[in-house]
Chains A and B, each alone.
Chain A
Amino acid sequence: MDSLTDATERQGTGDELPKGMERRLVLRLLSYWRSLSEDGVLPSFAAIDPSAMKDMWESCFVLDIVGHEADPVFRTVGAAFAEHSPIDLVDRRVSEARANTLVYASVSYIHEVICKGVPISRGGEFYKADGVKVLYRSIVLPMSDDGETISGLLCAANCREAIEG
């Protein structure tokens, strides 16, 4: 897989971040998730404050699992995904995400997260409908209302188009 972490962050958010701050979106979100997780207890969505993570929230989406274990439902989708998705995904099921999009790539391993109950980060590449190669990195974080049972997933991803010479 091509390495995309540094280049991706520089293109997306690097200019706005304070000096010395972790550039990689997945690690910043993981750090925020850990700050909400006390003694290994899964954090709840109630603890999330979008205003405290302005630099990340637009690159996040939330999946509701309760009652939709086999096919979770999008509850919130960050603005950054709009340009990568031809349809509004809010209140739609994961299976409705269009192939060869950033969201589609990011939800490809959500059942692994539900099964293992721990954060998973993956990256890779896909080709958009116009044939352009896109490099992406994503993370899926388990969330819980009672601290144990996974009730939803907090996901984030970013990408950049690969320049093929």
Chain B
Amino acid sequence: MSTAFELQIYQNGQWQFDSYFDDKDTVVSEAERMNASGRYSGVRVLEETYKEGTNACEYHVIFSRLGKDSGASNWRDRYQSAGSTAEPMDDGDVARRLKPKHRPQPRKKSNPIGLIAIASVIVLLGIAAIIGLRSIAGTS
């Protein structure tokens, strides 16, 4: 098993590879320095673990900072994987790990036909009540 670290920056609406390291402390230090510089919209570090036995790579985000001016408005933009890579990338694994626990549920839209039907019933009842009252008044 071997481990490497990819430093990525957020540019033009997507994560782009910036540099590669084999030392976690070094890459996280660099990511923190880049984030503090204010020069980048976003900075993140992916830990890449290659398992010889299964010939598979796993990617985990170990550092991620995204500025408000990044233009990324939702979690998919915030955590989208880089556009191109020289190695196979299990996007599903990253997506699963980054899936928010409380994704906002879409509001239920009101049914206009139901509202019209209810309004019609109220109007009809009102008319019936008026007619009823008039007829009572006429008989008395």
Contacts from A to B (Cβ < 8 Å): 1, 3, 5, 22, 24, 26-27, 30-31, 40, 112, 115-116, 118-124, 137
Q: List 29 A-B contacts (CB under 8 A).
A: A3-B25, A5-B23, A5-B25, A5-B26, A22-B33, A27-B26, A27-B29, A27-B30, A27-B33, A31-B33, A40-B11, A112-B20, A115-B86, A116-B20, A116-B86, A118-B18, A118-B19, A118-B20, A119-B18, A119-B19, A120-B21, A121-B20, A121-B21, A121-B23, A121-B26, A123-B23, A124-B22, A137-B23, A137-B26
Residues of chain A contacted by B86 (CB below 8 angstroms): 115-116
Least CB distance from A158 to B in Å reads 13
Residues of chain A contacted by B33 (CB below 8 angstroms): 22, 27, 31
Q: Is B79 an interface position by the 8 A CB rule?
A: no
List the 7 closest A-B pairs by CB distance, nearest first. A119-B19, A120-B20, A121-B21, A122-B22, A118-B19, A118-B17, A27-B30
Known contacts A40-B11, A115-B86, A26 near B26 by CB under 8 Å: yes
Size class of B's contact patch?
Answer: 10 to 19
B22 & A121 in contact (Cβ 8 Å cutoff): yes
Residues of chain B contacted by A31 (CB below 8 angstroms): 33
Least CB distance from A150 to B in Å reads 14
Roughly how many angstroms separate A24 CA and B18 CA in the complex, as a whole number? 19
Roughly how many angstroms separate A73 CA and B111 CA in the complex, as a whole number? 74
Roughly how many angstroms separate A1 CA and B11 CA in the complex, as a whole number? 33
A24 & B26 in contact (Cβ 8 Å cutoff): yes
Q: Which residue of A lies closest to B20 (CB)?
A: A120
A120 & B29 in contact (Cβ 8 Å cutoff): no
Residues of chain A contacted by B16 (CB below 8 angstroms): 40
Least CB distance from A42 to B in Å reads 12
